[in-house]
Amino acid sequence: MARQHIPAVGIWLTLAAYFILSLFSALNKYVQELGYGATQVMFFDGLVGMICMVAIAAQQKDLKGLRPRKFTQVVLMILNVGAAFMIFPAYPHLPLVTAYLIAFTGPLMITLLSAVFLKEKIGFPQAAAVLVGFGAVAYSMVAQQANGLAAAFDPAQLPYILRMIAGTFLFATTQVMVRKLSDTESTWSFPFFYYAGMFVLTGLFFHDGIVLPTAPREWALLMSLGVLDAASLAMIYLGLKYAKASTVVPFQYSAMIWIVLLDLVLWDKIPVLPQVIGAVVLVAAGIYLATHERKLYRNSVK
């Protein structure tokens, strides 16, 4: 996929991608609350997403690129699917704001993992931003239990919070691996194998729990999951075609606006003050890391 430097296009694609991803997350939570299990949701998400990625690769004339060139691609698929197994079951048990607070620690984790595995240098300001970001999320989780806010944080949520953290860490690990594989693997091969692995593994090991929908509306909801997920991933990758990661990353956090609105409209959940403070500080830390990376890049090409 040839790169073109049109930052405005990359930014708009990123904004659209995270709006669609927010809709996917809300629909994921809603469908599971209807009684469909996480593995069933993953089965349909994988099936439709896989078909969408084949269609996109065909449109981009890159079908041959879907073939893995390195065994690491298989490892990447396993980690991605493992992350999905961690994260998907947590959605019906957590407010969307809480889930996204945890999910947006991913860029912080990527910064640390890149330093360990890719030997990328991290200065004191970057390290401080990472620590502040993690601290903001920890504060948000702990402070909800104090000052009469216990109702906003149910102790029964803790196992699902831990699942979200573990899944986010696995996804961050895969993003670091993608950086190493991007020179040899096709852009569309990464999501294709993620969806293929999710479809095959859920169908193979959890087929007894997969019940086909009976109503057209339920078919539409389950199929829409895969379409929304695939569309958001495609737009994220296309956004990176037109703009550098450090340019578009700050606009990923626009999802927090949509998540707050969806939580309010669909579940009557209003974010409490610790969540707001945690989100603001976390977003500020993430944006700082992105702008710092952009400054380093500009200095390196001078």
Residue 68 within a domain: yes
Residue 103 within a domain: yes
Nearest alpha carbon to residue 21 among 248, 230, 289: 230
**109-146 pLDDT, tens digit each:** 888 887 777 777 777 777 888 888 888 888 787 766 55
**183-203 pLDDT, tens digit each:** 677 777 888 989 999 999 998
Residue 2 within a domain: no
Distance CA 181, CA 198 (A): 20
Highest mean pLDDT among 227-231, 252-256, 270-274: 227-231
Q: How many domains does the chain fold into? A: 1
Residue 1 within a domain: no
Residue 76 within a domain: yes
Q: Which residues of 94-125 are buried (b: 16+ CB within 10 A; e: fewer)?
A: bbbbbbbbbbbbbbbbbbbbbbeeeebebeee
Longest dimension (CA), the chain: 62
Which tokens sit at 18?
A: 């995270």
Q: What is the pLDDT of residue 169?
A: 94
pTM of the full predicted structure? Answer: 0.84
Residue 145 within a domain: yes
Summarize the confidence of residues 11-19 as an average pLDDT.
91
Percent of the chain clearing pLDDT 70 (strictly above)? 89
